[in-house]
Amino acid sequence: MPINIPDGLPAKTILHRERIFALEEEAATRQQIRPLHVVILNLMPKKIETETQILRLISKSPLQVTCDFMRVSSHTSTHVSEDHLVKFYQTFDELKDEFYDGMIITGAPVEHLEFDSVDYWDEFCEIVDWSQTHVFSTMFLCWGALAGLWHLYQIPKKPLGQKLFGVFPQRLCDEYNFLTNGFDEVHYMPHSRHAAIEVSELANHPELHVLSEGFTSGPALIATRDFHEIYVTGHFEYGRDTLADEFWRDMHAGLPIHLPENYFPDDDPENQPIFTWRAHANLLYRNWLNWVYQMTPYDRTRIPEEIEKLRADTDEEIDKF
Structure confidence by residue, pLDDT tens digits, 43-71 = 998 888 999 999 999 988 888 899 999 99
Reference 221, options 213, 153, 174, 104; nearest CA is 213
Q: Where residue 319 falls among pLDDT bands split at 50, 70, 90?
A: low
State the DSSP code for 63.
Answer: S
Structure confidence by residue, pLDDT tens digits, 84-131 = 766 788 999 999 999 999 999 999 999 889 999 999 999 999 999 999
| Phi, psi torsion values for 42, nearest 5 degrees | -95, 105
Q: Which residues contact 40 (CB under 8 A, 6 or more apart)?
A: 51, 54, 67, 68, 69, 70, 103, 104, 106
What is the value of pTM for the model shown?
Answer: 0.89
Rounded Cα gap, residues 105 and 41, in angstroms: 5
Q: What percent of the chain stands above pLDDT 70? A: 86
Structure confidence by residue, pLDDT tens digits, 195-222 = 999 999 998 999 999 999 998 999 999 9
- Residues designated as active site: 142, 235, 237
3-state secondary structure of 223: strand
Please tell me the least confidently modeled range out of 39-53, 82-96, 163-177, 225-239: 82-96
Helices (H), 135-241: 143-153
Quote the radius of gyration of the chain (alpha carbons, Å). 19
The upper half-sphere exposure of residue 273, i.e. CA atoms within 13 Å in the direction of its Cβ, equals: 22
3-state secondary structure of 191: strand
Judged against a pLDDT cut of 80, whether residue 75 lies above it is answered with no
Burial of 81 (0-12, 13-18, 19+ CB in 10 A): exposed
